[in-house]
Every structure is written in C-alpha cells, then in structure tokens.
Structure 1
Amino acid sequence: MTVFDVDVLVVGAGPAGLTAAGDLARAGRSVTVVERWPSANPSSRAFATMARTLELLDARGLADELLTTGQRAPGVSIFAGARIDLTHLDSPYRFVLITPQTNVDAALYRYATSAGAEIVRGVEVIKLASDADGVTVTGRPFDPHGGAELADETTWRARYVIGADGAHSTVRTLLGVDFPGKTLLSSIVLADVKLARRPDSDGLTLGSTREVFGFLAPYSRADHDGSWFRAMVWDRGHQVPDTAPVDDTEIADILRRAMGTDYGVLEVSWRSRFHCDERQVAQYRHGRVFLAGDAAHVHSPMGGQGMNTGIQDAANLAWKLDAVLGGAPDRLLDTYHDERHPVGKRVLMQSGLMARGVTLHSRTALFLRNILVPNMFRIPQIRDAVAGTFAGTTLRYPRRSGDSVLVGTRATQIPLVHARLTELQRSPGFVLIRRHRTPRLDITNVLQAERTDDGPAVLVRPDGYICWAGDSADRRAWNSVLGQLAADRETFVQ
C-alpha cells in the first residue's frame, strides 16, 4: 500500500481549508487537501465578505478580483430604522461585499493550487490515528451508497492535520470530540430571487414582524428586467423539516409580509431549507489535529459571520504550523485555540443575539427593541463599535503583561512610504515596520517597510497582527520575539 507523506493534510476544500492550504503551500510546505465531493458545490449559503476578510484576501492578491464582480453594501438596515453603518470603518473596505461564496471558493482554489497545494476530490476520510510524530489518515472514494471497496483506500502520513470539513465534520467525529449546543432556528429558507423593484436601502435589508422575517442582499445592480438578490426568509407558523420542498409562493409571501411591501418576485433560481445551530467545540487543538471553520463552530446566519470566521481561523493557524514545521516551539500551536476560541464564542453570542432580536414575539419586547436599538445606534461610539465587531476590524488578540498596548491589534491601517501592508504580505513572513525616517536595517528573513506617521516601530505577524512594538533600533527585543514565534535558530540580525 502506498503512503503519501505531506507536511499538512487538510480535510475539506471550503474557504477555511483552501485558505490554510494556500498559505502553507505558499510558505513552501507540502500540503494535500482531501474533499469528499467530486466537484465544487455550485450553490452556497454564504454571501457576505466582511472588511477584515477582504484585507486578508488582499494580502493573498485576491480582493481586487472579487471586488469587480460583487456588490458593495455600506450598511445593514435591521429594524425600526436601526442601521449598522459600515462607512466609518477603519479599513480600506468600508462596506460588506455581497458575492456568492462560490466566487470566494473559486478564488481561494486558484490561490491554493497555484501555490502548490494538491487538491484531491471525491475522497472521504474514514480513519485517523495520531502518534508522537504525526497523523496517519486513510481515505476512500466517496460513495453516498456505501459501495466503496477496501482496495480503493489511500493513506496519507502527515505531520499535522486540519479538519476544515464543515458542520458535520468527519475529522471531529473520528477524534470523538463533542459538539455541544442547540438548534436556534428551524425551517429557514435561502434563495436567489429576481425582484421587479429594489428596496430603498442601498445595503442589506432586514424586515420582520412577530411572525416572520425576511432578509435581502443585492447581487446585481438594477436593470430593465429586475435585480437579483440573495433572500433569507422564516415563518414562525410554517415549521417543516429541512427536506420539505420550498415553493416560490412561500418565498414571495414571507418577503411581502416581512418587508411590508411587495417587491415583486419575478424568478427564483435556487432555494434551500435548513436549520441553524449554535455549537462550538471545547478545544480547537487535539495534539497534531486542529479544527477550523464550521468544524469548530456553527451559529446563526444573522450577521454573515460563518465564512469570514473560518477564513480568519485558517489565517491564524497556517502561519503557526509553518513556523513550528520550521523549528519554532510547539507551544506556539496552543495559541491557535487561545486566540480563536474566544472569537468563535463571541460570534456565537453576537449572531445569536441578532437572531433572537429579529424573532422576538412578545409585544413588550418588540416595543422596547424598536425604541432602544435605533437610539443606541445613533451614538457614534456605539455605532462604530457595532460596525467594527460586525466587520472584524476591531478584533484584538490577548497580549502579555508588559507588552505594548498595540500588541494583538491589526496593523493593516499603518500608513507606509511604499505600498500597503497587505501588498507586502503577498510574500509570506513577518514584516518589520520601521519608524519614519529611520534607515533600513541589515537583516534577513524579515520584510521591511517604513511608516509615514510618528508611530513606533512594529513587528507584524504573517496574519497581519502586531506582535511587538518599540524602537526598531532595539534589535535584541524584536529579534527575541522572532525567535519565539518564528523559529529557535540563529539570530535574524546580520
């Protein structure tokens, strides 16, 4: 039996898996992605790409391509005139990009394969065994009827495995890991619809009553025969199994009732009924196996956080795996859970609050919601805090005692003399941003840039977050940080 040796085996060719594979392959690691479906899914539930995710995609040379085809929504209209306003974000992307997940998947697939990752489709993982030196994974051709023969099995030997295989993760099941939580909403319908008239809002539009809610995200600009939208609808009085067919009249009726007006449903090209759960694993790391994306956390679709959180999981994990493969201490991999598990927990809470707020049934609760929320959103500090959390731009990771307050924050918005940080990060590795008007340092293995403002020097991790701040002339300090995060090897300073 042939055994294929790789540095990292990724299970699942969704956004999280492809991001991790591309990042690792770009860094020179051998990576194979195993996906049980023989071809890419032509339809998908995700449709919103947030500002922080666009920054990460720009650091991989992918954002511009997606921006040419997607629609930019400057905010989200929710209820009683309340609006999540994204136009004040501290980011080049002061909007949410509305584009089908299939477009994001396709861009990430090209990124991963061009970097050298191997994508193996039509294979399901059936066995997984870890030891002190690696993980042995067995797969076989995926057959929904269970007719695959033993002789068809393929085995991989990997230093590490990433389970990015979705909410029904096989990797998670083989590990014996619980996925605690509960069902939040049932019988939600997603559909792509063509409307005769557009809502007045130029962004994402949500309408709700005590019995229904409807959500519209623009896929295309208006033309002479209507506009395409991604729609999400729910009816408290029509709770049926996920397998129940979705009729066009059901979508049109709920949209009309939820929005308080009839935009005219001309056509429905795709539809799906599903339920949403709130679940999260207790640990993201299990020895040499890591869980990412929906395999680690699922939540309400309200807020469009799922795909974005998964991509950011992968960006956090991939550079750490590369660093440890290159000689950095194994304990660096523990920080993946330490940094990303609280983020997943927060996303569950926020999306759950939005879902519960939209589906309130009590008249008193609805009255209070409709009074309090719009007034709160008129306060700039609250408006910007909600928008930053929604977009992912205000995320910060924990810092150690004695670290600069900048440690753990993203460095994307630091103005540079030449180019943008995300352009520099299209080459993998750390970036040292020097103070303004300071000379270039004689160092290797680290990219350099000069800032244009009066801020301090900062050392930026490959995922765009600051890991040290101070005086760039203090080589001993930042070189010590590099030694802990990049590799236990000879100094980087020449």
Structure 2
Amino acid sequence: MDTDVLIVGAGPTGLTLAGDLARAGIRYLLLERRADTPNMTRAFAVHARTLEELDARGVADPLIATGQRVEGVRLFGQADLDLSGLPTRFPYVLITPQYQTERALASRDGVVVTPGAELSKITQDGDGVTAHLADGRTLRARYLVGADGVHSAVRQSLGLPFPGKSVVRSLMLADVRFTEPPPSVLTVNAAAGAFAFIAPFGDGWYRVFAWNGDDRPDTDPVSLSAIRDTVRRVNGTDFGLHDPRWMSRFHSDERQAPHYRVGRVFLAGDAAHCHSPAGGMGMNTGIQDAANLGWKLALAVRGQADVLDTYESERYPVGRLVLRTSGALVRLAVVRSAMQQALRTTAARLALAVPAVRHRGTRTVSGIGIDYGPVTRVPDRPLADGRRLYEALRDGRFLLVGTPSLDLGAWSDRLTRAAAASAADEVLLVRPDGYAAWSGPASDESGLRAALTRWCGSPAGSVAAR
C-alpha cells in the first residue's frame, strides 16, 4: 500500500478529511487535479453546525475573524429568518469566501496537498483500491474517498449514476465593486422572474449571483449591463455596480448518487450530492460528510472497529434533506409572474410567523437540527476543568463526560475522559463528530459497555481492518 486512505479532491470536504486523518495518525494522500488555485469562489455561507465542527478542530475562531456574522436573513423582501435564537455558540451564519474556509482547513497540522494529480480511473479488490492517474502513475490504498466535485471522476469510474435535473439555468456570476455598497452584509432579494444575491469578499470586492429568466447555455458570454439591470430590478438600485474582474454563467443542478459507499470507495461532498446555492448549504454539507467519515475510516484502518456502513446510512438522508430544502427555496425565488411573487411572499411571511415552522426552518438550514435517528447532536457545554466540550473533542477521540462505574482501561487508546462542570449521575459518550453515542446513569455498566463496543470496537481492539 502507498497509503491507507487516498482522497481525491482538495476542496473543503477533502481538506477536512485530510486534517482529521492526520490528527488520528492515519497515512493519507490528498490529490488535487488543479496545479494552482484559481481566483474564484462560489460558497460564502458557513452555518452554525459547520462552525461547531470547525470548533472541534480548533479553526472556527480564526475563520470567524475573516468574515462577518449575519444573525438573520430577509427573504423575498418581507419574510425574516432569524438565527439569533439558535441554541449554539454560533447563532448566526458566517459570511466569508470559500477560499478563507479552505485556508483555515489547510492550516491544520499534517494537511498536505499533492497538486496536479488528475485521476483517470480506479479499480478495487478485496484488499484495497488502485488509483490510475492521468500521467500514468498508479497509487494503492486501503480506502479511497472521492471528494472531487459534481463531475467526480471517482463516481464515474464506479459507474454510479447521478440522477436529477437542472433547477435553474443561466445563473450569472460576477465579481464587482460598488460605488454605494449594499447596507446589509448579505443582500438577497427577488422580483417576478428575477433574483439577485450579493455577498462581500471583505476587501472591497463583492460576488453577485443574478438570474433574469433567460435560458442560455453556460458558454454564452455575460454582460455587465445584464447583471446591473437584474440587481436594479430586484433591489430598486444597482448600488453603482462597476469594474467587473470576472464574469461567468452556470446552471444549478439537483442530483444525488444512489450510494455513498461502493466496497472500499466512498463519495463525499458534491461528488455525492449537489443542489442549488439557495440556503448556502452545499459546502457545509460536504464538510459535515467528512466530519462523519474521517474517524470511522481511522477506526477501520487501525483494525479497532468497522462502522463504515453507518456513513451512508447517516449521511444519505441528510443529502436528500438538503436537496429538498434548497430546491424549495430556489423554486420560490424563480417564480415568473407578479401574482406568483405576491403569493410566495405572503406564504413565506405567514409560515415564518408560526414558531414551529420557524424553529424547524432555522435548525434545518443551520444544520443544528440534523440528527442521525437516535444519534443526536451534542450541544457545547462547560467541563469541570474549565474547557468547553468542543475544545475537549480537538484530539479527535471519543469523549466520555462523567464518572462511570465501568472500568474504561480497555478503551483508553480511543477515549478521552472529562468531568462534567456540575455534579450529575449521567454519563455521556460523545463521538468525535460531536454526536452522542450513548448517555445514561453512571451505574449502567452494560449499556455503556455495549455502546463502547458498538462504536469503538471490542475492548481488545482486535477487529480486522477490512
């Protein structure tokens, strides 16, 4: 084997996975087709659950320093989505360009990218996966993860379909300056047959996404006047938009692979699912895919436990939920008639006035409400030693909070102990991705033993790597 895990694609998903494997002491290679990084970014929103995952990796606070916090978003001019009440240390969406997120993830110890390495195809057998590169080289690994985007060579090599459809065609993108910048950090608005989204890079440049109802191929050139007219149409002003440094056109698809695992090969991020930019959930979902998969691969490589099948069973429904949520938002944004626009605005305002609907909406978009059935998200909390729970997760191990009666010595190589800040009989076993593997009274030795065996492996750690 050349390495234990081969990761294809060094975007946010692949960088997260590489950092997690490095932290766990697992050998990996991170391949990136591009030889350099282009001056282009699509994702701007970092949601609360992603910030919690980044907090557990020590990079949330540095990333927050690069952007601006938005505690609420006004939809369609009148309907407000308020994030300030979310039960998290991060009750907002962070607006920062994707390259800042990638820099934060690449800064973690042990993250190394191999640029200019383009995958041609893969083959696998019972022992490992062979990656065939475009330059004729081959690499051998126990496992391979395709984090190589919508046009994933890994997914295509597996022969997996990518069913779905285009939901918005001829979206215009541009990096521009404004004579009178928008007053809000995030400017989102729509009119009949048009919408525009404006987000800052933080250096005087802004990214504009605009749609005006045209149905043109991606290869058609974009004119500054078309973008200016669309921004003015939905906002009543174009804010003095000028000096574009880059313009392009693309279409937005809704697609999801039928499987996230085929033998020793896994798909994550846009290689597994893609959807409209509405809600800003794409990059966040990919980072959370990686947070779910990394520690499971580490356990398998070390021969301690095999919980790899839970990656697909846990993350596939999340991908489906994100497709439906972003799809609903973008379909509301692209209504073409004035009557449809009025109905949309009224319906959105009335729906968000209902506490249960508003609660579910904010938790879904932010990721705070995403659980895996009985495996639920663990909120941050203080510990007896002065740290927070998510700070204690930064070693990448399972965290046991409380004082159980069970002797934990047999799992000590996979487990960190911590005392709760307040005296309580409850014991909580937290997975490395910040989800609860088990909770119960300190006296329940059998329950805790079963959970440890289920998720961490047998006490002897003798499960053979598959």
User: Aligning the two structures, in what range does the TM-score lie when normalised by the shorter sequence?
Assistant: over 0.9
Alpha-carbon shift at residue 452 of structure 1 (Å): 3.3
1:29 aligns with 2:34: no
1:286 aligns with 2:269: no
The answer (yes or no) to whether the contact 1:194–1:266 under 8 Å persists in 2 is yes
Alpha-carbon shift at residue 126 of structure 1 (Å): 1.4
Q: Summarize deviations over 1:240-293 as a string: whole Å, max 9, x none.
A: 221222222222111001112232113323332110101000110000000000
1:396 aligns with 2:371: yes
The answer (yes or no) to whether the contact 1:191–1:272 under 8 Å persists in 2 is yes
Question: In structure 1, what is the Cα distance between the partners aligned to 2:37 and 2:456?
Answer: 35
Secondary structure at the counterpart of residue 85 of structure 2: coil
From 183, 192, 207, the equivalent of 2:189 is 207
Secondary structure at the counterpart of residue 123 of structure 1: coil
From 301, 317, 321, the equivalent of 1:342 is 317
The answer (yes or no) to whether the contact 2:12–2:287 under 8 Å persists in 1 is yes
- After superposition, residues 175-254 of structure 1 pair within 5 angstroms as 175-200=158-183, 202-220=184-202, 227-236=204-213, 238-254=214-230
1:449 aligns with 2:418: yes
Q: Summarize deviations over 1:122-149 as a string: whole Å, max 9, x none.
A: 11111311111111112134xxxxxxxx
Given the superposition, is the C-alpha separation of residues 486 and 215 from structure 1 closer, same or farther in structure 2, using an over 3 Å criterion?
same
Given the superposition, is the C-alpha separation of residues 440 and 75 from structure 1 closer, same or farther in structure 2, using an over 3 Å criterion?
farther
Secondary structure at the counterpart of residue 253 of structure 2: strand
Question: In structure 2, what is the Cα distance between the partners aligned to 1:472 and 1:138?
Answer: 51
Q: Which moved more, 1:203-212 or 1:349-358?
A: 203-212
1:311 aligns with 2:292: no
Question: In structure 2, what is the Cα distance between the partners aligned to 1:455 and 1:256?
Answer: 60
Provide the residue aligned with 2:133 in structure 1: 139
Provide the residue aligned with 1:127 in structure 2: 121
The answer (yes or no) to whether the contact 1:328–1:485 under 8 Å persists in 2 is no
Q: Summarize deviations over 1:152-198 as a string: whole Å, max 9, x none.
A: x2221111000000000000111111000111111112223222334
The answer (yes or no) to whether the contact 2:83–2:362 under 8 Å persists in 1 is yes
Q: Summarize deviations over 1:12-34 as a string: whole Å, max 9, x none.
A: 11111111111012101100011
Provide the residue aligned with 2:433 in structure 1: 463
| C-alpha RMSD of the superposition | 2.1
Question: In structure 1, what is the Cα distance between the partners aligned to 2:85 and 2:255?
Answer: 32
- After superposition, residues 61-140 of structure 1 pair within 5 angstroms as 61-111=58-108, 114-115=109-110, 117-140=111-134
Alpha-carbon shift at residue 442 of structure 1 (Å): 6.3
Unaligned stretches of 5+ in structure 2?
none
Provide the residue aligned with 1:404 in structure 2: none
The answer (yes or no) to whether the contact 1:80–1:374 under 8 Å persists in 2 is no
Alpha-carbon shift at residue 390 of structure 1 (Å): 0.8
Alignment length (residue pairs): 457
Amino acid at match of 2:418: A
Q: Summarize deviations over 1:209-229 as a string: whole Å, max 9, x none.
A: 1121111224439xxxxx543
Alpha-carbon shift at residue 49 of structure 1 (Å): 0.7
Q: Which stretches of structure 1, 4 residues or more, deviate above 6 A after TM superposition? A: 438-442
From 294, 299, 306, the equivalent of 1:323 is 299
1:373 aligns with 2:348: yes
Provide the residue aligned with 2:273 in structure 1: 297
Amino acid at match of 2:392: L
Question: In structure 2, what is the Cα distance between the partners aligned to 1:160 and 1:91?
Answer: 34
The answer (yes or no) to whether the contact 2:193–2:337 under 8 Å persists in 1 is no
TM-score where L is the length of structure 2: 0.93
Provide the residue aligned with 1:472 in structure 2: 442
The answer (yes or no) to whether the contact 2:297–2:308 under 8 Å persists in 1 is yes
Question: In structure 2, what is the Cα distance between the partners aligned to 1:249 and 1:455?
Answer: 66
The answer (yes or no) to whether the contact 2:303–2:461 under 8 Å persists in 1 is no
Question: In structure 1, what is the Cα distance between the partners aligned to 2:401 and 2:336?
Answer: 52
Unaligned stretches of 5+ in structure 1?
142-152, 222-226, 400-407
Alpha-carbon shift at residue 441 of structure 1 (Å): 7.4
Q: Summarize deviations over 1:87-133 as a string: whole Å, max 9, x none.
A: 1111111111111111111221222xx22x54211111113111111
Amino acid at match of 1:130: Q
Provide the residue aligned with 2:376 in structure 1: 409
Question: In structure 2, what is the Cα distance between the partners aligned to 1:71 and 1:241?
Answer: 34
Alpha-carbon shift at residue 449 of structure 1 (Å): 2.1
Provide the residue aligned with 1:150 in structure 2: none
The answer (yes or no) to whether the contact 1:328–1:484 under 8 Å persists in 2 is no
The answer (yes or no) to whether the contact 2:121–2:153 under 8 Å persists in 1 is no
Alpha-carbon shift at residue 378 of structure 1 (Å): 2.4
Provide the residue aligned with 1:170 in structure 2: 153
The answer (yes or no) to whether the contact 2:406–2:445 under 8 Å persists in 1 is no
Secondary structure at the counterpart of residue 326 of structure 2: helix
Given the superposition, is the C-alpha separation of residues 137 and 253 from structure 1 closer, same or farther in structure 2, using an over 3 Å criterion?
same
The answer (yes or no) to whether the contact 2:437–2:455 under 8 Å persists in 1 is no
Amino acid at match of 1:185: V
